[in-house]
Amino acid sequence: MSDVGSIERTTQNRIIKFFQDYLSYSYLGNWQYRENNRNIEPDYLRPFLEQQGYSDTLIKKAIAQFQKTVTNQSQNLYNLNKTVYSSLRYGIKVKPEVGANTETVWLVDWDTPENNHFAIAEEVAVKGEHPKRPDIVLYINGIALGVLELKRSTVSVSEGIRQNLDNQKKEFIEHFFATQQLVMAGNDTQGLRYGTIETPEKYYLTWREDKDQETPLGNDLENPLERGLMQLCSKQRLLEIIHNFTVFDNGKKKLCRHNQYFGVKYAQDYIKNGKGGIIWHTQGSGKSLTMVWLAKWIREYNPNARILIITDRDELDKQVEGVFSGVDEPITRTQSGQDLIKKLNQTTPSLMCSLIHKFGKNKTTDYDSYIEELNNSLPPDFQAKGDMYVFVDECHRSQSGKLHEAMKQILPDAVLIGFTGTPLLKNDKRKSVEVFGKYIHTYKFDEAVTDNVVLDLRYEARRVEQKITSQEKIDQWFEVQTQGLTEYAKTELKKRWGTLQKLLNSKSRLEKIVADIIFDFATKDRLKSGRGNAMLVAGNIYQACRYYELFQNQGFTKCAIVTSYEPSPQDIKGETTGEQERTEKLRQYEIYQQMLGGKDPEKFEEDVREQFINNPAQMKLLIVVNKLLTGFDAPPATYLYIDKTMRDHGLFQAICRVNRLDGEDKEYGYIIDYQDLFKSLEKSIADYTSEAFEDFDDEDIQGLLSDRVEKGKERLEEMLEKIRALCEPVEQPKDTSAYIRYFCGSNQPEQNPEHLKTSEQQRHTLYQYTASLVRAYANLANDMIDAGYTPQQASEIKAAVKHYEQARQEVKLASGDYIDLKTYEPAMRHLIDTYIGAEDSKTITALDDMTLVELIVERGEPALDVLPNGIKENPEAVAETIENNLRKIITEEQPTNPRYYEQMSELLEQLIEDRRQEAQDYETYLKRVIELSKQVTQPHNSSQYPPSLDTSAKRALYDNLDQDESLTLAIDHAIKTNKKDGWRGNKIKERQIRRAIKEHLDDKETLNRIFELVKNQNDY
């Protein structure tokens, strides 16, 4: 076990030993000072190839060809890594000599893991535009295939993930990641997180061994970091993940989650024994890619295999085609039952998908007609060619039994595998097991939530028509709905309250629901900020059109209807009665036509969906009936409003539309139910396994829904407890100065000047906890009394939230961190203004466009008015805030001109020392600090530079070449004459610049120093 808070070096030493003792990797050494570390080390690759029996000629050619592929700088990282992966997985094709047959040189022995040389090196110093040094690099046969960043137990794994992401940028060591397959970060408390190249932080995964495994890997290890490394980096597992569970999907490289891995592994065992079965992986857990990986394995395991994927919805059919095409697995969409039979009777294609077609005026899925069409298309001599494997998507449908029987008649020897994202109904379980076979693998909703694969769902039943029956009730409703809002937010709402009052006062239930939803868009965090959006499920197409019309009438125009309805003049034939009142069909037709605005319905839907997913602020609400409730991933969708009688699979799939991850501010998906599907308003206790879900087994839907208010209270109290524990060490009276001293350090003689850097993680935890606390409070602010708090408790909690938010704001300014966190501020400010209120928020907006130091340079002493009152009223807090901000700029700018900023750093330390010694009054101090701010941010205004040095790059050279003007100008000219576009990171182009500088400098140390300086200049 590790010591609590152990430093990274201790953790690293232990993990290196773990790789050697437990995983049997060789240790190559500490490569911090080793020259020319690369992602291909021929000294280790060559012996492996010799051991595999390749000739010297083949080895030389294969290594040269592979190095050429890896160093190709014309491709972006994704495409380069994809090309390299192809060489690794399928081998290097080489001709020993002209005219000879092509041979394949395998750089990795995928079949026999023990034949490969597994090794690690630590502190691998890699050259780049800005050199970097990954903690541990995993080499297989001298090829860098894995990288691991380690953090001490008190530092978040997120820091390691961000380090990995930074390292993949062009400015750092992007080229080193051309060969990387597994990118990891870990510590002793959170364990191991993994992704691959360019995996965004929120999609890094945690591995877990399967509950049904006979001998799970690493479960006997107590330490979560060591357990994760055992499970991912043991030799056979690592090779298997790289070889069988890696995919390049439409510009994104992806690795499997543990449920996908075990689902495919168990399916392989079934298939080898000629058996089929059911894979149930809950909505949002990557079922489509599980199909892809299983299909790829089947085709390699059995060269004679042919795979047919059957879906019963057009959007699912298109999605299957899109997923397979996106991963370079060409798939043929059959056009009809007849077309399918024709293709089955041929030897190609080997991968097909077929849609169970829609029949009749309502385009309902007709299994009987589909099966009849298949049978009628059978030629007398029909026999499907190849070994058939049939995947049936959404196999929970009760009609799939008929389909199975038909498939067994047409393809008697086929292996059938059913896939579902929802549980099977109690009554269908026996039938489904008879039809497809047993469950091959299950991954239920509560497991996916625990693994952070999908979000937890919060449920609330609303019955607006009973709550709102008179003007008095409307006023009362407004007060209840806004009891947690600030006066500012209430005033903003009241500007629009008149029109909502009319809706709520109407007899129409639909109008009341429209008012309720518009109200949510004005008060709920994700909806108001435009970061998230919503879907409304209507009972039928006419009701959807009425909803759309009502929203439009209220000026809520960023919404659209998406249904299967395609307006046609035939629909309104004979509907004109001569009466003033239009028929439902006529109104439906007119509203739909008005919405389409002359666009083709299919194109309109495509555009609307694209906006809804990629630009939620411009498409806030989709009104649907059946469409888009399955197979439609909409990450921004946060709320689902239901005004339709739904149950079982339809309801399960619908509510999972809002469970997708989408950034830190989307913590849950919300279900608002106007139909009271679980009769929770009629009962004293909410049971979300009864009523609409009563036909499921309880254990199959465990934890799917939870009460919004009850869980909201739990979350609020959890975050209050966390932030109180974090801030416990802050000295009494826990005022501004105390928070700044604890989270930023104080500029006192005994204080380590590096404290601002070392306490960075602590501050980020404060920011993270505060943001989560504010969101938790905002989610419950209008329901504090319903949650069981007394008015006094509610008031005390609001005061506590406000206290921590102000502390966050002050620490952020005092440390200078606000500069890096600007992108997160607008959403937070909206929350604060709406639910907490912050006197300082108006002045702090001045820092949106400028830093504090820039404001001081521009405005002088009046710039300090933008500081929060807690800082502004304390001269020492003001001084430390300015000093920390200056120190941050000096540190960041140091590489661009080391000598100049060393001088600035000395001036700052002298200024701090004089303030400590009280050698000057506050006014004099402010004048000196304003003057220093100008020097730090505007070196070009200094009188010390000759007029010829008219760029920051020339001035940087001048300062670092002992102020030799002629040498500076000569080197500047040489650089500009020799530099080529995109020279940074390109070894050949960098060498040209280096040679040009070398003509003017004899000393190697000076040459290295000036070359690094030049790389940091924007002017070059």
**List of residues 6+ apart from 971 with CB closer than 8 A:** 957, 961, 997, 1000, 1001, 1010
Report whether pLDDT(431) > 50.
yes
Q: 828: pLDDT confidence band, cut at 50, 70 and 90? A: low
Task: Quote the mean pLDDT of the chain.
Answer: 86
DSSP state string for 78-99: HHHHHHHHHHHHH-EEE-SSTT
- Whole-number Cα distances in Å, 33 to 37, 124, 395, 1001: 9, 8, 58, 24
Q: How far apart are the C-alpha atoms of 539 and 689, rounded to whole Å?
A: 23
Q: Of 282, 396, 207, which Cα lies nearest the Cα of 704? A: 282
Distance of CA 610 to the CA centre of its chain: 18
| Comparison of pLDDT for 434 and 774, the residue scoring more | 774
**List of residues 6+ apart from 342 with CB closer than 8 A:** 377
Report whether pLDDT(430) > 70.
no
SS (H, E, C) 352-395: EEEECCEECCCCEECHHHHHHHHHHCCCCCCCCCCEEEEEEECC
User: Domain spans of the chain?
Assistant: 8-42+113-247, 258-443, 952-1016
Q: Which two tokens stand for residue 51?
A: 């051991």
Q: Of 180, 179, 230, which Cα lies nearest the Cα of 207? A: 230
Q: How far apart are the C-alpha atoms of 359 and 436, rounded to whole Å?
A: 26
Q: Of 399, 455, 398, 426, which Cα lies nearest the Cα of 690? A: 426
Q: Apex CA 666: angle with CA 662 and CA 670, to 5°?
A: 115
Q: How far apart are the C-alpha atoms of 285 and 834, rounded to whole Å?
A: 35
Determine the angle formed by the axes of helices 487-494 and 509-523, rounding to 10 degrees: 140
Report whether pLDDT(357) > 60.
no
Report whether pLDDT(943) > 80.
no
Q: 362: pLDDT confidence band, cut at 50, 70 and 90? A: very low
Report whether pLDDT(467) > 90.
no
DSSP state string for 495-514: TTHHHHHHHHHSS-HHHHHH
**List of residues 6+ apart from 681 with CB closer than 8 A:** 461, 463
Locate tokens 């059919």: which residue? Answer: 317
For 866-880, what is the mean pLDDT?
Answer: 84
- pLDDT, tens only, 37-62: 999 999 999 999 999 999 999 999 99
Report whether pLDDT(889) > 60.
yes
User: What pLDDT, on the 0 to 100 scale, is given for residue 841?
Assistant: 44
Report whether pLDDT(180) > 60.
yes
b/e map 819-839, b = 16+ CB within 10 Å: beeeeebebbbbbbbbbbbbe
User: Could you count the other beta carbons within 10 Å of the beta carbon of residue 334?
Assistant: 20
pTM: 0.78
| Counts for the chain of helices (H) and strands (E), in that order | 41, 26
Q: 316: pLDDT confidence band, cut at 50, 70 and 90? A: low
Range in 85-99, 181-195, 479-493 the model is least confident about: 479-493
Report whether pLDDT(90) > 90.
yes
- Per cent of the chain over pLDDT 70 is 88
Report whether pLDDT(254) > 60.
yes
Q: Of 299, 318, 317, which Cα lies nearest the Cα of 307? A: 299
- pLDDT, tens only, 476-516: 777 777 878 877 777 777 776 666 677 666 667 898 899 89
Contact 524, 497 (CB under 8 A): no
Report whether pLDDT(630) > 80.
no
- pLDDT, tens only, 529-574: 888 999 999 999 999 999 999 999 999 999 999 998 988 877 776 5
User: What pLDDT, on the 0 to 100 scale, is given for residue 356?
Assistant: 72
Q: Which two tokens stand for residue 113?
A: 């893991």
User: What pLDDT, on the 0 to 100 scale, is given for residue 843?
Assistant: 45
Instruction: Tell the CATH topology of 258-443.
Output: Rossmann fold (3.40.50)
| Comparison of pLDDT for 780 and 241, the residue scoring more | 241
Distance of CA 837 to the CA centre of its chain: 30
Contact 969, 977 (CB under 8 A): no
- pLDDT, tens only, 651-702: 888 998 999 988 778 889 999 999 888 887 666 556 677 777 887 888 888 8
Distance of CA 507 to the CA centre of its chain: 44
Range in 130-134, 395-399, 848-852, 874-878 the model is least confident about: 395-399
Report whether pLDDT(334) > 70.
yes
Ordered alpha helix ranges (H), 437-540: 445-450, 464-467, 471-481, 487-494, 497-505, 509-523, 525-529
Q: How far apart are the C-alpha atoms of 705 and 673, rounded to whole Å?
A: 12
With H, G, I as helix, E, B as strand and everything else as coil, classify residue 13: helix
For 303-308, what is the mean pLDDT?
Answer: 94
For 959-979, what is the mean pLDDT?
Answer: 93
Q: How far apart are the C-alpha atoms of 703 and 357, rounded to whole Å?
A: 35
Report whether pLDDT(99) > 90.
no
Report whether pLDDT(363) > 50.
no
- pLDDT, tens only, 61-74: 999 999 999 999 88
Report whether pLDDT(3) > 50.
no
- In DSSP terms, 143 is beta-bridged to 40, 140
CATH number among 1.10.10.60, 3.20.20.210, 2.30.40.10, 3.90.1570.50, domain 8-42+113-247: 3.90.1570.50
Q: 973: pLDDT confidence band, cut at 50, 70 and 90? A: very high
**List of residues 6+ apart from 221 with CB closer than 8 A:** 227, 230
- In DSSP terms, 389 is beta-bridged to 307, 415
Report whether pLDDT(799) > 70.
yes
For 830-850, what is the mean pLDDT?
Answer: 59
With H, G, I as helix, E, B as strand and everything else as coil, classify residue 758: helix
